[in-house]
Amino acid sequence: MSTTNYPLLERVNDPADLRRLSRAELKSLAGELRAFVLESVSKTGGHLSSNLGTVELTVALHAVFDTPRDRLVWDVGHQTYPHKILTGRRERMGTLRQLGGLSGFPQRAESEYDTFGTAHSSTSISAALGMALAAKQKGEDRRAIAVIGDGAMTAGMAFEALNNAGVADADLLVILNDNDMSISPPVGALNRYLAQLMSGQFYAKARDVGKSVLRNAPPLLELAKRLEQQAKGMVVPATLFEKFGFNYIGPIDGHDLDSLIPTLENIRSLKGPQFLHVVTKKGQGYKLAEADPVAYHGPGKFDPRVGLVKPATPPKQTFTQVFGQWLCDMAAKDQRLVGITPAMREGSGMVEFHQRFPGRYYDVGIAEQHAVTFAAGMACEGVKPVVAIYSTFLQRAYDQLIHDVALQNLPVVFALDRAGLVGADGATHAGAYDIAFVRCIPHMSMACPADERECRQLLTTAYEQDHPVAVRYPRGAGVGVAPLAGLEGLPFGKGEVRRQGRRIAILAFGTLLYPALQAAEKLDATVVNMRWAKPLDTELLLRVAAEHEALVTVEEGCIMGGAGSAVGEALNAAGVLRPLLQLGLPDAFIEHGDPARLLALQGLDAEGMERAIAQRFCAWPDGGPRNHLWGCCLEVRHRGFGRRWRHAQRSGAGAFLRLIRGFERLLAD
């Protein structure tokens, strides 16, 4: 991306260049950096509000600390675009979140300045503490800095780290970037406590008195202004963070470099655990994002002069919206239903539910472990909890899923959004493992709807069960099958044959049913919509296996331990021997890119499925007549020559010649 309009920014290719600038130049640099972030994100899409809010903080951190020698760990990483730009990646920002381009999060393989890979919340303090104590063990004099948001501070892991750090002799600086906003509205006692710290009357009065006394003495006023930031820390006695063993400093204005830089310089010389409370504003400097930071949290491409506009044609209904409507409809029918989210109200489609049923809506903050056990406690009392959680975030509560829900066989519904590949957010947010890690747990069931209609129906089926059930669905829209208006379910643990073919049966789990149907048309294969990874429809499976010579499983999840493995286990248990091809996500982390392109690269589009099946069971030459040659090859290999020969003769000269060519190539192989 061109930097011709950013003369100072163009001079900064790494933090060493930044440290040569004067304070006045750093202020101008911050202005250019904010404008560049806005221009860049408007062209690529990505996280905007959070990055506009951390411009000055990023500049100050790289100006004061000797990065990368001093370790800078960003929690989550939504806010690291300014960091990427200042650390030698400015010219690559046009590739952000695209296949082969820059990650939207810190990534160790991308830069030495990305000291720790992040994307899930609340990891920064633990990682930075580990780095600080490792430096001490090695006899190295370096600082470790963790930057964490107020939303991420609600997670238990953050407090576990604080508890450990406060008694550790480590040169650790924790910076609380307090913007009073998580993706969903901030909740909980900690948020209330932080608000009290910032609104303390004692501090406000002390500040105002000082300014009134010194108004006519500019040099003294300037001195008082510089001391003000330290005073803020001193006038609030015995803060929570001091009780944890930290030296608490703040709150200070996170957009004022004249406050930030001297404060950080002073902290740099202090030993032991330090806690700096910085107040910022999401969307800072861009009025539209300041007014609606949620809308500009992760926008697609847009014109900064106009802002976000609604598309001319309404987009297809997403799976998230299907869930949100189902939740409201089921709540209206059943007073026992409660909805639980770990701070993802918007992302999980629960805004309307919150508005219509506020007394049955629970946002527990970024606290996935607590969310699951909280739901278990409610289920013990006859309430019917529905936990709306991203597949990748449920990983964080795996022990609770086993120990607190499944072991006690409690009827909790898990609505797993973002199952499968998620596109621009990459490997950290991909829901690749849920089938594998859910189906191995006793009492648990796993539903895999193929489209929007099935999603609504299988949510109902899940809700009707007296044991825990997970329903997985992908990000975005499906093929556009309109959900039914009612709340009818589908048979528990039962699949269906969607296309009757011959010789090969494709068993599809989830939305890959539709590319499987396309591939089956070319191959004249049977297609089964399995619907359930657990319980597996064993009766249907064995019937299909008896009628076909080979089986193929397709799933948008990991092959190892996934639904295909379940099919193999069931066949083995029944003593049925059939060639089995498992198609799914490989044993590798799949990075960011366009979702359709990523699926194609894994061979999970229609063409990829067709090619994989052909290569496994009968290779044909490129450009050959696929349907007839496929049938010929299988006939020769499995049923013998005669019947297919007679069929080809009856079908005409074209089929006969294709048969001959097939035999010739088969013999050549």
Secondary structure (DSSP) of 427-475: GGT-B-SHHHHHHTSTT-EEE--SSHHHHHHHHHHHHHSSS-EEEE--S
Active-site positions?
A: 282, 368, 396
What's the full length of the chain, in residues? 669
Burial class (CB in 10 A: 0-12, 13-18, 19+), 499: middle
Tell me the pairing of strands 532-534 and 445-447. Answer: antiparallel
Long-range contacts of 259-264 (CB under 8 A, 24+ apart): 259/228, 259/229, 260/56, 260/57, 260/60, 261/23, 261/26, 261/60, 261/63, 261/64, 262/226, 262/229, 263/229, 263/230, 264/60, 264/61, 264/64, 264/65
Instruction: HSE, CB side, 13 Å, CA atoms: give it for residue 181.
Output: 19
- CA–CA distances in Å: residue 9 to residues 12, 22, 74, 80, 502: 5, 14, 22, 16, 64
Report yes or no: 46 and 72 within 8 Å, Cβ to Cβ: no
Residue 583's DSSP bridge partners are 554
Secondary structure (DSSP) of 218-261: HHHHHHHHHHHHHHHHHSSTT-HHHHTT-EEEEEEETT-HHHHH
Report yes or no: 131 and 71 within 8 Å, Cβ to Cβ: yes
